[in-house]
Structure 1
Amino acid sequence: MEVGVVATRNVVLSQHQHELVDLLVRSGRYQNASEVLREGLRLLERRESEDAARLAALRDAATKDWSDLADGRYDDITDDNLDGCIGQLGARAARAGWLMVGYRLTRVAQADVIDILAWSEAEFGEEARKRYETLIANGIRDAASSTSDVGHITRPEMGEGVFSWHLAQSRAVAAGQTVRRPRHFLICRREEEVLVVGRVLHDAMDPRQHVESQQTRD
């Protein structure tokens, strides 16, 4: 039987990592340090694959928002009408599981908000839906009015001039109506003085959220 030649590598570990490898080997789950490192690489490979799948899904989602814009499927909303628009969508979500939001809001983004608010009411009740309505409206205003790049994450992989804004950055604005852990972000771009909201997506779709979370734990 032929045995493949396996290359050896010198790996430098931190003290914490060295102690962790020893602990795992002593537990009996792994026979030696090589098995521990191979398992770590398998997990990393799986995470990279999952992140690539999330990014592909995110890119696919983004193509729908800008095609809506090109085909004229959007609504222009003034600042004075923004709260009323979100409230109307919340009422639609309560009645039929639908909703929308935006300054220039593509139809697919409207469908995103409808789904979000319908789920919020179904899971947590009418007051929770109304708090999320306020948060979404505040998030759109913040994304449009920010005078610096703080809070904006550029997304060149999703198109020229595209950026995202996470709703967690706008929760403090909703005084007395704070959403504890917002999980959605806006996909936006500017067209002259108009903020275009293309999608409102759950952050589980965004590989960057997982990378930043892992780095924070490390």
Structure 2
Amino acid sequence: MVRLVKSAGFVADVENALRVSEENWGRDGRARYTLLVTHALADLARDSHRLGVHELPERPGFFGYALRHSRNNMPAVQRVGQPRHVIYFRLTEDRDAVRLLRLLHDRMLPEPWLPPADEAP
């Protein structure tokens, strides 16, 4: 299992996604999305190359993982209907940690929101 290191951008993105979930689907919707994000992070900590992880073709060394890939591992009553966010991350050089960069809506292009490629992971 690897460590998860959350960037300030990632933390702000999660807070925003949970706020929007609550605005649209109430407290229960926020609670379900919180569980999904938590579950997806645990999945990445267990296996940062799990099914659903993809390297960004335009940014070697940067990876994406859509929350929907962790959705089906949750109890049916706690599932989010159509999760729309993607976790963007890098592995540290020694591969003992996942640096969580952003949590972006799947319609957003990640490029403008990610740090420079030469910035240390």
TM-score using structure 2 length: 0.78
Structure 2 unmatched ranges of 5 or more: 111-121
Q: 1:135 to 1:187 in 2, by over 3 A?
A: same
Q: Which residue of 2 aligns with 1:195?
A: 98
> Structure 1 residue 133: deviation in Å?
0.4
**Alpha-carbon distance in 1 for matches of 2:40, 2:9:** 18
> Structure 1 residue 147: deviation in Å?
6.7
**Alpha-carbon distance in 2 for matches of 1:124, 1:141:** 24
Higher normalized helix content (fraction of residues) = 1
Larger radius of gyration: 1
Q: 1:198 to 1:147 in 2, by over 3 A?
A: closer
Structure 1 unmatched ranges of 5 or more: 1-77, 79-102, 208-218
Matched, 1:109 2:10: yes
- Identical aligned pairs, as a percentage? 31
Question: Match of 1:171, as an amino acid?
Answer: R
Q: Which residue of 1 aligns with 2:68?
A: 168
> Structure 1 residue 177: deviation in Å?
0.5
User: Which protein, 1 or 2, shows the higher relative CO under an 8 Å CA cutoff with sep ≥ 6?
Assistant: 2
Number of residue equivalences: 105
**Alpha-carbon distance in 1 for matches of 2:69, 2:109:** 16
> Structure 1 residue 206: deviation in Å?
3.9
Q: Which residue of 2 aligns with 1:154?
A: 55
CA displacement, residues 142-187 of structure 1 (integer Å, 9 cap, x when unaligned): 22322755211101423x4211000000011221300010000000
8 Å CA contact 2:44, 2:50 repeated in 1:
no
Question: Match of 1:115, as an amino acid?
Answer: N
Q: 1:197 to 1:148 in 2, by over 3 A?
A: closer
Q: Which residue of 1 aligns with 2:79?
A: 178
Question: Match of 2:69, as an amino acid?
Answer: Q
Query: Following TM superposition, where does structure 1 have runs of at least 4 consecutive aligned residues deviating by more than 3 angstroms?
Result: none
**What's the C-alpha RMSD, in Å, of the aligned pairs?**
1.9
CA displacement, residues 5-34 of structure 1 (integer Å, 9 cap, x when unaligned): xxxxxxxxxxxxxxxxxxxxxxxxxxxxxx
TM-score using structure 1 length: 0.45
Q: Which residue of 1 aligns with 2:32?
A: 131
